């Protein structure tokens, strides 16, 4: 089954604000797209709509293939040593997370409780799980946050390899990131006019 992710005419409302309207994209195997825009424009909201975690105000999303979401909720048990926290996902995903963890520079940290890891180490651990998981569709929300220069290069390499193997990557980031394809969706182009971007009389979906 070939990976596919398409969004048609999406609109998003958060609270009383309509953030954007008319967002569409269509990504097939090997495609990548960066969602760019300033703080608060709605990048995380769009990623969550694409993931199926947030209902759009309007529009539809079609997904084919397993979807993996990477955001600042790393889904690693804070009480467990890193090795055991990753082993949980290795069992669930039937994947070699250890190999990816070593690649991401986490060797030697297996016995350190997740709660003691630095921000960048936790992000690297989440990337290791993502890379091992084998999901064809990656949704990455600010993947470079917390990473040093070497970590950022590793993250870019993972995305490039994923797409070269036929995966799809959507990356929401206000930071410039090397992407395997030059496609950028500037969310500001779809933001509602006016200071609050709101429209009267609309109801939340």
Ligand X SMILES: Nc1ncnc2c1ncn2[C@@H]1O[C@H](COP(=O)(O)OP(=O)(O)OP(=O)(O)O)[C@@H](O)[C@H]1O
4/174 with CB nearer ligand X: 174
> Is residue 174 near ligand X by the rule CB under 6 A?
yes
Which of 19, 95, 139, 179 contacts ligand X by CB under 6 A?
19
- 3-class secondary structure, 118: coil
Q: Does residue 195 belong to the site contacting ligand X (CB under 6 A)?
A: no
13: contact with ligand X by CB under 6 A: no
Burial 176-186, CB ≥16 within 10 A → b, else e = ebebbeeeebe
Asked whether position 49 contacts ligand X by CB under 6 A, the answer is: no
Nearest Cα neighbor of 29 from 186, 172, 169, 179 is 169
User: Is 199 one of the binding residues for ligand X (CB under 6 A)?
Assistant: no
Write down the least CB distance from residue 10 to ligand X, Å.
13
Distance of alpha carbon 41 from alpha carbon 43, whole angstroms: 6
- Of 5, 32, 42, 185, which one interacts with ligand X (CB under 6 A)? 42
How do the residues of the chain divide into helix, strand and coil, expressed in percent and rounded to 5? 30, 25, 40
From 35-43, 80-88, 99-107, 151-159, give the range in contact with ligand X by CB under 6 A: 35-43
In sequence order, which residues have a C-beta less than 8 Å from that of residue 56 and are 6 or more positions away? 10, 11, 12, 49, 205
Q: Is residue 37 a contact residue for ligand X (CB under 6 A)?
A: yes
Binding site for ligand X (CB under 6 A): 14-15, 19, 37, 39-45, 174
């Amino acid at each position: 089954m070939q990976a596919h992710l398409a969004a048609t005419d999406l609109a998003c409302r958060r609270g009383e604000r309509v953030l954007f309207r008319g967002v569409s994209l269509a990504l097939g195997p090997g495609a990548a797209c960066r969602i760019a825009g300033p703080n608060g424009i709605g990048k995380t909201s769009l990623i969550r709509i694409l993931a199926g975690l947030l209902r759009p105000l309007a529009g539809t999303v079609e997904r084919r293939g397993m979807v993996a979401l990477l955001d600042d909720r790393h889904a690693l048990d804070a009480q467990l040593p890193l090795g055991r926290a990753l082993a949980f996902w290795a069992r669930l995903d039937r994947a070699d997370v250890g190999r990816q963890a070593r690649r991401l520079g986490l060797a030697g940290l297996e016995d350190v409780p997740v709660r003691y890891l630095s921000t960048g180490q936790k992000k690297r651990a989440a990337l290791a799980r993502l890379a091992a998981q084998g999901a064809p569709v990656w949704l990455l929300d600010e993947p470079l946050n917390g990473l040093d220069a070497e970590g950022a290069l590793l993250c870019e390499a993972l995305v490039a390899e994923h797409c070269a193997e036929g995966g799809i990557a959507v990356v929401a980031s206000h930071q410039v990131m090397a992407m395997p394809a030059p496609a950028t969706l500037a969310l500001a182009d779809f933001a509602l006019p006016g200071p609050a971007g709101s429209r009267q009389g609309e109801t939340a979906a």
